[in-house]
Amino acid sequence: MNLNHSTPHRQTPGLKGEKRYVTMIRSAFADFHLSIEDQITEGDKVVTRLVAGGTYKGGLYEIASAAAIGKHMTVTEILIHRIAGAKMVEGWIEFDQLGLWQHLGVIP
């Protein structure tokens, strides 16, 4: 993806950054999985509603509580991608960040 409007502030832009982000998530959750609940297309946009989950094994942003290790978590997400030339070229991601931080023990 060329332009991710939801990129974490420390992520390298472009495909290289996307690959690093996915690698970080997959290494932080032992059995990471996604379940697509809905997917809608209109024009050059694809909207996906999904649930992501996995068992936390550490290493996510280096701020999660050690007590969170071994706990299973789930988070809901809505993604919007713009497609051009059969490729995702732009994207927006909204997810339950508060729920994630609570699962990881960052906030009560």
Residue type, 81: H
CB 42 within 8 A of CB 83: no
Provide mean pLDDT across the span 56-63.
77
Tell me, what CATH number does 29's domain have? 3.10.450.50
Q: Write out the two tokens for 38.
A: 């809905």
Provide mean pLDDT across the span 41-64.
88
Q: Write out the two tokens for 24.
A: 């970080």
Residue 50: CA atoms inside 13 Å, Cβ hemisphere, count? 14
Domain that holds residue 69: 3-103
Rounded CA separation 62/93 (Å):
22
**Band of the pLDDT at 61, cuts 50, 70, 90?**
low
Q: Is position 108 within any domain?
A: no
Q: Is position 53 within any domain?
A: yes
Kind and range of the H or E run holding 20: helix 14-28
Residue type, 54: G
What's the number of domains the chain is made of?
Answer: 1
Q: What is the pLDDT at residue 42? A: 97
Kindly tell me if the per-residue pLDDT of 10 is higher than 60.
no
SS3 103: helix
**Band of the pLDDT at 15, cuts 50, 70, 90?**
confident
Q: What is the pLDDT at residue 63? A: 66
Kindly tell me if the per-residue pLDDT of 88 is higher than 70.
yes
Expressed in percent and rounded to 5, the helix, strand and coil fractions of the chain are 25, 45, 35
18-45 pLDDT, tens digit per residue, is 888 888 889 889 899 999 999 999 999 9
**Band of the pLDDT at 64, cuts 50, 70, 90?**
low
Q: Indicate the DSSP class of residue 56.
A: B
Q: Write out the two tokens for 45.
A: 């946009």
pTM score, whole prediction: 0.79
